[in-house]
A and B are shown apart, each in its own frame.
Chain A
Amino acid sequence: MDTTTPLLTLDRLSVSVPERERIGGGVGDLTLVEELSLQIRPGERVALVGESGSGKSMTARSILRLDPHLRLAGSIRWKDQELVGAPERRLRRVRGREISMIFQDPMTALNPVLTIGEQVAEPLTVRGMPKRKAHAKAVEMLDRLGVPKAKERMRAYPGQFSGGMRQRVVMAAALVAQPDLLIADEPTTALDVRVQEQVLDLLEEQSREMNLAVLFITHDLGIVAGLAHRVAVMLRGCLVEERTVDDLFTCPEHPYTRGLIGSVPRLDADPDVRLKTVADYMSTEGATTHA
């Protein structure tokens, strides 16, 4: 058991849409995440796995309170401060400096009319670092993330980059201020397999070298196998299972987890063996799925 003090502790965190904010009406608050507890220690890589609508992204977004209209209950403890109910200016000090976040689509995450350099250096300049110094740090970060000719490409625009290169730029902007935690929300879903592999390798490497904790949100259990230390599985707003990555893959306890692992076609599987669906796993074990 790891005894280091956790960086982040979610304690019975609930996220809901208040009745008056519900799109299309509906009675009562709509619960998106229900009493979720999770801890992340320095340098630890935790994967939060679930399907669309499971609440994995809402959990991640709520840590930084990116959706101010949502109601949070329970506690989000970051180092020695409580983020639930904290004033906006305190969150602003955390966002991008101590905790940064990257998203699925590198095409829309970057501003098309600002240069790469301006965007990667922004987390530093916005906090008052002199331009020249911030610029140098941005070049260094792009270089670390394998962007060729980083110095020259600082003047380029996002449109001149491929999807994989843009995701590296997004990562550089997220890591340039040396945060303690990176929240990565499906960062490779829009990428080709070979580019995905490169981005995941970089993420793992940076995490090790910078002692960076990572909360990795994904629907794909396959890609977390080699990346995460721990995996938490969400189903309909609730955490159904949380284990070390080795335990989760060798002896998954919840039928839903077993379904997620077992229903994915594998390169090393016999194609004549019929693929079992998640519903098969759930129904044979007496649980139900929304699918």
Chain B
Amino acid sequence: MPEPLLKVDGLQKRFGRGKNAYQALTDVSFEVGQGEIVGLVGESGSGKSTIIRCLVGLEKEDAGTISYDGIDPVSASKADLRRYRREVQMVFQDPYSSLDPRMTVQEILEEPMLVIGGFSPADRRARIHELIDMVGLLPEHLTRHPRHFSGGQRQRIAIVRSLVVDPRVLLCDEPVSALDVSVQAQVLNLIKDMQRRLDLTVLFVSHDLAVVKYLCTRLVVLDKGVIAETGDVPAIYDAPQDPYTRALMEAVPVPDPVLERARRARRLEAAR
């Protein structure tokens, strides 16, 4: 594995208290190396989004440490925290709710640079134009509002927004699961291309094992807040060691009628 850039160590998170408490994360530790695309996989309630939310500070972990390039956001100096917040960016699942409907695309894309500061108007313009060109948006799109764009276009806007401040790490929380099939492939290819061109490190949360296989180099499988398995994508997909991983893989539908019917027959047979 390349030099670890992002580390999560012994992360614990519990929601609620007393009888209704829910242990969302139990002692979760993993590393993401510079330039890797790591898939974080699990079912709803497995804690994958909670990890991402802890990483960007939307949730506060109960115990454990997060470290990015030597910076621990809990004890970091102001300057380090600034660098952390600039270099670790996030793309959300639903581009219909993650873009402010009252802002123009230009305003949406400028905002992170204004918040972080240090970008001259000329810098801002140059960054925006360079990136929208990379993702296939046009300069005339900048004056429009999000409602004028399709889901795929909106997700491209959201991706550009995360990239304008020149991050090194991209945290993606199910970025294609709200999109139509016809644009999913576009956005996946875009993430793949951007990762290569900008040498990004990506933590990619998904429930879709086929998507993860296409995109990721390494995999972390989460089962009810506990890591079930981690490893290189080819190795895990060839021979999943953990029964939970195996069950998840076997449940992925294959677009092939003959195979699918045979699988269903086997399942029904086994259930009897």
List residues of chain A with CB under 8 Å of any chain B CB.
Answer: 51-52, 163, 192-194, 196-197, 200-201, 204-205, 219-223, 225-227, 245-246, 249, 259-261, 263-269, 271, 274-279, 289-291
- Secondary structure class of chain B's binding surface, majority of residues: helix
Contact between B254 and A193 (Cβ–Cβ < 8 Å)? no
Given the contacts A194-B43, A246-B258, A201 and B264 also touching, CB distance less than 8 Å? yes
B210 touches A266 (CB 8 A): yes
Contact A219 B181 (CB under 8 A): yes
Residue of B182, B188, B189, B209 with most partner-chain A CB within 10 A: B182
User: Once the chains are docked, how many angstroms separate the CA of A98 from the CA of B150?
Assistant: 38
B233 contacts chain A at the CB level, 8 A cutoff: yes
Closest Cβ of chain A to B20, distance in Å, is: 13
Q: A194-B248, A249-B256 are in contact. Are A265 and B182 (CB under 8 A)?
A: no
Q: Which listed segment binds A: B59-67, B86-94, B102-110, B211-219?
A: B211-219
Q: B182 to A260, Cβ gap below 8 A?
A: yes
Residues of B contacting A277 in the complex (Cβ-Cβ under 8 angstroms): 182-183, 185-186, 189
- Assuming A194-B248, A277-B182, is B189 touching A226 (CB within 8 A)? no
Tell me whether B255 and A221 are in contact (CB under 8 A).
yes
For chain B, the bracket of interface size reads: 35 or more
CB atoms of A271 and B215 under 8 A apart = yes
| CB nearest to A248 among chain B residues | B257
In whole Å, how far is B77's beta carbon from the nearest beta carbon of chain A?
Answer: 41
Give min CB distance, A189 to chain B, whole Å.
10
Give bound CA distance, A222 to B208, whole Å: 12
On whether the beta carbons of B181 and A51 are closer than 8 Å, the reply is yes
- Whether B267 is near chain A, meaning CB under 8 Å from some CB there, is yes
B79 at the interface (CB under 8 A from A): no
Q: Which residues of A contact B209 (CB under 8 A)?
A: 193, 267
Q: Which residues of chain A come closer than 8 Å to B58, judged between CB atoms?
A: none
Contact pick for B181, options A193, A260, A267, A290, CB 8 Å = A260
Nearest CB of B to A199, in Å? 11
Can you give 18 contacting A-B residue pairs, CB < 8 Å?
A192-B207, A193-B207, A220-B181, A220-B253, A222-B254, A225-B254, A225-B257, A225-B259, A227-B260, A261-B255, A264-B184, A264-B210, A267-B210, A277-B182, A290-B150, A291-B150, A291-B183, A291-B186
Q: How far is the CA of A274 from the CA of B180 in the complex (A)?
A: 18
CB of B243, distance to nearest CB on chain A (Å): 12
Which chain A residues border B152 with CB–CB below 8 Å? Answer: 291
Q: Measured between C-beta atoms, what is the minimum distance from B248 to chain A in Å?
A: 6
Q: Which 3 A-B pairs rank lowest in CB-CB distance, beginning with the nearest?
A: A226-B260, A278-B182, A222-B253
Q: Does B261 contact A (CB under 8 A)?
A: yes
Q: With contacts A193-B43, A193-B248 known, is A263 near B182, CB below 8 A?
A: yes
Interface centre among B150, B208, B254, B257 (most CB of A within 10 A): B257
Residue numbers in B under 8 Å from A249 (CB-CB): 255-257
A291 touches B213 (CB 8 A): no
With a cutoff of 8 Å between Cβ atoms, the chain A residues found around residue B151 in the complex are: 52
Beyond A220-B181, A260-B182, A271-B214, whether A266 also contacts B268 by CB under 8 A is no
Give me 16 other A-B pairs in contact (C-beta within 8 A), A267-B213, A275-B188, A289-B182 excluded. A193-B209, A225-B255, A225-B256, A259-B182, A263-B182, A264-B184, A264-B185, A265-B188, A265-B211, A266-B254, A277-B186, A277-B189, A278-B183, A290-B150, A291-B152, A291-B186
Interface residues of B (CB under 8 A from A): 43-44, 150-152, 180-186, 188-189, 207-211, 213-215, 233, 237, 247-249, 251-261, 263-264, 267-268, 271
Q: How far is the CB of B192 from chain A (nearest CB, A)?
A: 8
Contact B180 A194 (CB under 8 A): no
Contacting A266 at CB < 8 Å: which of B255, B257, B263?
Answer: B255
Q: How far is the CB of A186 from chain B (nearest CB, A)?
A: 13
Which residues of B are found within 8 Å of A267, using beta-carbon distances? 209-210, 213, 237, 249, 252, 254
CA distance A263 to B189 in the complex (A): 11
Residues of A within 8 Å of B150, CB to CB, are: 290-291
Q: In chain B, what residue has the closest Cβ to A271?
A: B214
Chain A min CB distance to B146 (Å): 16
Q: Nearest A residue to B212 by beta-carbon distance? A: A265
Q: Does the CB pair B180–A265 fall under 8 Å? A: no
Closest CB in chain A relative to B147 CB, distance in Å: 10
Residues of B within 8 A of A261 (CB): 255
Are A52's CB and B44's CB within 8 A?
Answer: no
Distance between Cα atoms of A86 and B237 in the complex (Å) = 55
- Interchain CA distance A268-B260 in the complex, whole Å: 13
Measured CA separation A266–B181 after assembly (Å): 13
Residues of B within 8 A of A197 (CB): 251, 253, 267
Nearest-CB distance from A287 to chain B (Å)?
12
B180 x A291 contact (CB < 8 A): yes
B254 and A263 within 8 A (CB) = no
Give chain B residues whose Cβ lies under 8 Å from the Cβ of A196. Answer: 251, 253
Write the nearest CB–CB distance from A175 to chain B, whole angstroms.
18
Residues of chain A within 8 A (CB-CB) of B259 are 225-226
Residues of B within 8 A of A192 (CB): 43-44, 207
